[in-house]
Amino acid sequence: MSSRLTLALLPLAASFWLLAAADGAVAFSQIGSEDGESDQKQGIVSVPLPPIPSVTGAGTPDRAPAGETAPTPATPATAPQPVTDAPAGAVDPAAPATPRPVTPAAGQAPAPATGEAPFAPPAASDSSDDATESDTSGDEAAPAAAIPPAEIFYGDADLPKPVRDLRERLIEICRGGDIEALRPYLDIGEDGTMVSFGGGQEDPIAFLKSASGDGEGIETLAILLEVLQAGHVRNDVGSDEEIYVWPYFTGVPLDRLTPPQKVELFELVTAGDYQEMLGFGAYNFYRAGISPDGKLQFFVAGD
């Protein structure tokens, strides 16, 4: 066929093709002659073809009507695939944020776990103030430890010889009843024997007579005798002020005296005097003191 005839048959072939798509699949084929020549004549023969697969699912036409463009099937959505080989430093925006551990600075408390209250260090406090508050917040403060009573001695077994000798001499004078015999043992002057807290140092014998109930000093001698025969204590042991003192009531609490000790006290004073001493807080009757070197340091009443 000439090319002009071919062009003329093209519209007819297209129409036939569309009709064939509706009624059944057809195809063009050359019809050869009996002697095998293929260029002597042509024809159209109906040849069954395999069905054309559907474009979409059930209910969707295989072809769009003539003259219309078949819609392009939508590409089904594909679930995002996990990224396995993400570039270094890349962050997946879909992944949940993961808290990064924070390394605390030196001296800083570690950050609390999720849901816990933040750690707050206790406020600094002065230990000395706390101790003072705790001491005063409870019951009343315990009283200071009481000073233990002095050790009591009787006789002269513990006395140094100078002290023992003077004591024996004074007892002998008291029993003799002559107060003037005391004069050699009563020093005068600034460092003399104290017989009063308010004077009398110029003539201690005259003062002792005036203080005696009889005016002659006999009562004073009797008191000195009783004092030196009572028990005694040793004060300021080992120091320059060490001294032996009679009676021992000067070194013990009067409110703790035992009944036998009260008897010894009542040899010197009356029960009324004892009550006054309790109110005063100490023994305040006559006492005598002799230093370790054998000197009569005082014979005095009061306190």
pLDDT tens, 38-92? 444 444 444 455 555 554 444 444 444 455 555 555 554 455 555 444 445 444 5
Residue 48 is given by DSSP the state: -
Mean pLDDT confidence for 6-17:
55
Per the confidence metrics, is the pTM higher than 0.75?
A: no
Q: Where are the alpha helices (DSSP H) in 2-57?
A: 3-23
Q: How much is the mean pLDDT over the chain?
A: 72
CA distances from 219 to 202, 210, 211, 226, 268 (A): 21, 11, 9, 11, 12
Task: Please check whether residue 72 is in contact with residue 64, taking contact to mean a CB–CB distance below 8 angstroms.
Answer: no
